[in-house]
Amino acid sequence: MSDLQHRILQVLDAQDVIQDTKVQFPELDSQTVQAALNSLLARSMIKYTNIETDYWLLTDEAKDIVQNGSHEFRLLQEVTTNLEGLKIADVGTVLGKNGKLGQAKAFKNGWIFKDGDRILTKFKDRPLPNDETAQNLKDIKENQGAGVDKKELQDLKKRKLITMSKIVSYKVEKAAEFSLEIVQLNADITSDMIQSGSWKTAKFKPYNFNSEGVFPQSGALHPLNKVREEFRQIFFSMGFTEMPSNQYVESGFWNFDTLFVPQQHPARDLQDTFYLKDPATAKRPEDKEYWENIQRVHQDGAFGSIGYRYPWKEDESLKMVLRTHTTAISAAMLKKLAEDPKPTRLFSIDRVFRNEAVDATHLAEFHQVEGVLADYNLTLGDLIGFMQSFFDKMGVHDLRFKPAYNPYTEPSLEIFAYHKGLGKWVEIGNSGMFRPEMLEPMGLPKNLRVLGWGLSLERPTMIKYKLSNIRDLLGHKVSLDFIESNPAARLDEDLV
């Protein structure tokens, strides 16, 4: 415990109050005093208030003047000592960079006069005058210029010899726990105290609970992946197996033709779909019959459908694309299901690609959440009932279904949910029954119906995290701070 703390306590004991610490302890700087006061304050032994006082400080130049005289006085001394005076041209050489300043001031004071190219003194035969500048600065240094008039202070300030500063000092009074003895307070319980038992008698500093504590050094999972995991758990809880959606590259056959998307469909435009130049074409699928079925159902009609009746082209079908939806994988999985048809539930959450102009809500890549439910004699009531259970798990209860069009589902239902915040119905996904033209060419039995539905992963996530720009959520522009400070994703927590 510092001596200063004891001195403060003794002074207070003697006079009850310290009106101003800078008067009481003039030799101490403000910070030293404050540290001692805070320590006593923490023990509730004293209380204090701040006093702010204006304070003149001498610049380095002024300190030099106090010691060696003002520039004008030094010039006068030089000129007076030297009988010949001083050549004007030599002022700088003899007196340094401030010589000219001193020269001007000395002329102004009437101390010197000019004779040709020389300066001569007016004090040849009489004592030198007072060096007022030096004296004033000395006075300021010693007692804050009590004897210096205001105009002179301003002049010195203008000459950058003094600067105004604020000095903080304190008025100190006794407080509840005042005593001359300072009891040692401990900041924390240590293992030594526990082992020695000294914790029983030790006194502890009061805790500041109004603080956040020290955050742990930690890593983080990506927010979008956290939401993805929520969806996965919903699917798992409803008996859905994850599809092998790790296949970004598809042929037009699997991405479009198998889904009964005609070859002239706008979705197949260069404007919307990424085509590949290397590899440019796929091989034909292994199942020749399936390949021919697809051609027939598009071109001539088959499986109870009149078809689109256009010349179906192999070249178009074998063009390579980056998949535009994960339904390309669902198609391959359903084709596989035809080998051993049975009730099946499948899902995937993975990337899809669209050749779109990038803006706040569109990226060339995003994630599609897709579910597929196959069973004998499924009904639309089952689809709607299922959607209700699925979205219930996300905390979305108020659903409505709108007829829509999709080339591979019939009926197609857009799913709307009531958004309390926006006060309106918003579209949250698409669903439908896959068309017989998609299922029967695979060899699936006619009464095995398949429900499919999909939504983007980003859209509900953006709503959840109140993001307006998809680039703040996916891609390399996402802020690491956002990732690191992002809370757990809980879809059951007011999503819509």
Partner 1 sequence: MPTVAVDKEDLYQLLGKSYTTEEFDELCFEFGIELDEDTTNDCAKGERPQLKIEIPANRYDMLCIEGIAQALNEYLGRASAPAYSLQPPVPQVTMTIKESTSTIRPYAAAAILRGIKFTQRSYDSFIALQDKLHTNLCRNRTLVAMGTHDLDTLEGPFTYEALPPSEITFIPLNQTKAMDGNQLMDFYEKDKNLGKYLHIIKDSPVFPVILDKNRNVASMPPIINSDRSKITLETTNVFLDITGTDKTKVAIVVNQLVAMFSRYCSTPFSIEPVNVVSEHNKETRVFPDIKPRVMQAELSYINSCLGLNLDVDTIIQLLKKMGLQPKKNESNEDLLDVYIPITRPDVLHQCDIMEDASIAYGYNNLVKTQAQSQALVAQPLPVNKIADIVRLATSQSGWSETLPLTLCSHDENFKFLRRNDDSKAVKLANPKTIEYQVVRTTLLPGLLKTVKENRKHSLPIRVFECGDIVLKDETLERRAKNQRNWAAVFVGKTAGFEFVQGLLGKIMQTLRTDWLEKPSAGKRGYWIEQDDTNDTFFPGRGAKIFFRAIDGAEAKEIGSIGVLHPEVLGFFEIPFAASSVEINIEKFL
According to CB under 8 A, which residues from 459 to 488 bind partner 1? 474-481, 483-484
Residue 99-128 contact track with partner 1, rule CB under 8 A, x = bound: ------------------------------
195 to 161, 186, 188, 204, 486: CA distances (angstroms): 62, 16, 14, 17, 41
Q: Residue 260, SS3? A: coil
Name the minimum Å distance from CB 481 to partner 1. 7
Of 3-11, 71-79, 244-252, 461-469, the window that binds partner 1 (rule: CB under 8 A) is 244-252
Of 65-73, 110-118, 124-132, 428-436, the window that binds partner 1 (rule: CB under 8 A) is 428-436
Of 9-17, 66-74, 111-119, 296-304, the window that binds partner 1 (rule: CB under 8 A) is 296-304
Question: Among residues 99, 145, 285, 371, which is the contact residue for partner 1, using CB under 8 A?
Answer: 285
Of 50-58, 81-89, 159-167, 429-437, the window that binds partner 1 (rule: CB under 8 A) is 429-437
Nearest by Cα to 176 from 206, 210, 201: 206
Segment 328-347, which members bind partner 1 (CB under 8 A)?
343-345
287 to 250, 295, 335, 495: CA distances (angstroms): 16, 13, 10, 44
Residue 430: CB atoms within 10 Å? 17
Segment 198-237, which members bind partner 1 (CB under 8 A)?
217-222, 224-225, 232, 235-237
Contact of 11 with 24, CB cutoff 8 Å: yes
Of 47-55, 73-81, 118-126, 263-271, the window that binds partner 1 (rule: CB under 8 A) is 263-271
Q: How far is CA 38 from the centre of its chain?
A: 35
Q: How many residues interact with partner 1 (rule CB under 8 A)?
A: 106
Backbone angles phi, psi at 370, to 5 degrees: -135, 135
Question: Among residues 25, 73, 274, 291, which is the contact residue for partner 1, using CB under 8 A?
Answer: 274
Name the minimum Å distance from CB 424 to partner 1. 10
Containing 236, the helix (H) or strand (E) segment is helix 223-237
Phi-psi map region of 366: left, alpha, beta (phi>0 left; psi -120 to 50 alpha): beta
Name the minimum Å distance from CB 327 to partner 1. 15
Q: Based on the shown chain and the rule CB under 8 A, indicate whether residue 320 belongs to the binding site for partner 1.
A: yes
Q: How far is CA 128 from the centre of its chain?
A: 69
Question: Among residues 131, 337, 437, 462, which is the contact residue for partner 1, using CB under 8 A?
Answer: 437
Nearest to partner 1 of 224, 491 (CB atom): 224
Question: Among residues 160, 309, 336, 397, which is the contact residue for partner 1, using CB under 8 A?
Answer: 309
Which tokens go with 403?
């007829």
**CA–CA distance, 5 with 69 (Å, rounded to integer):** 41
Nearest to partner 1 of 55, 411 (CB atom): 411
Beta bridge partners of 186: 204
Nearest to partner 1 of 147, 385 (CB atom): 385
Nearest to partner 1 of 48, 390 (CB atom): 390
C-alpha distance across the termini of the chain, in Å = 61
Question: Among residues 1, 35, 92, 310, which is the contact residue for partner 1, using CB under 8 A?
Answer: 310
C-alpha torsion angle, residues 310, 313, 316, 319 (rounded to 10): 150
Residue 157-176 contact track with partner 1, rule CB under 8 A, x = bound: --------------------
Question: Among residues 126, 151, 203, 277, which is the contact residue for partner 1, using CB under 8 A?
Answer: 277
Of 54-62, 106-114, 176-184, 351-359, the window that binds partner 1 (rule: CB under 8 A) is 351-359
**CA–CA distance, 436 with 334 (Å, rounded to integer):** 12
Nearest to partner 1 of 207, 215 (CB atom): 215
Nearest to partner 1 of 33, 383 (CB atom): 383
Contact of 76 with 85, CB cutoff 8 Å: no
Question: Among residues 49, 81, 246, 468, which is the contact residue for partner 1, using CB under 8 A?
Answer: 246
Segment 357-416, which members bind partner 1 (CB under 8 A)?
357-358, 363-365, 373, 375-382, 384-386, 388-389, 400-405, 410-413
Contact of 170 with 37, CB cutoff 8 Å: yes
385 to 34, 237, 379: CA distances (angstroms): 71, 16, 10
Alpha helices in 50-182 (DSSP H): 60-68, 71-81, 91-95, 99-109, 132-143, 150-158
Residue 163: CB atoms within 10 Å? 13
Nearest to partner 1 of 24, 305 (CB atom): 305
Question: Among residues 199, 248, 290, 418, which is the contact residue for partner 1, using CB under 8 A?
Answer: 248
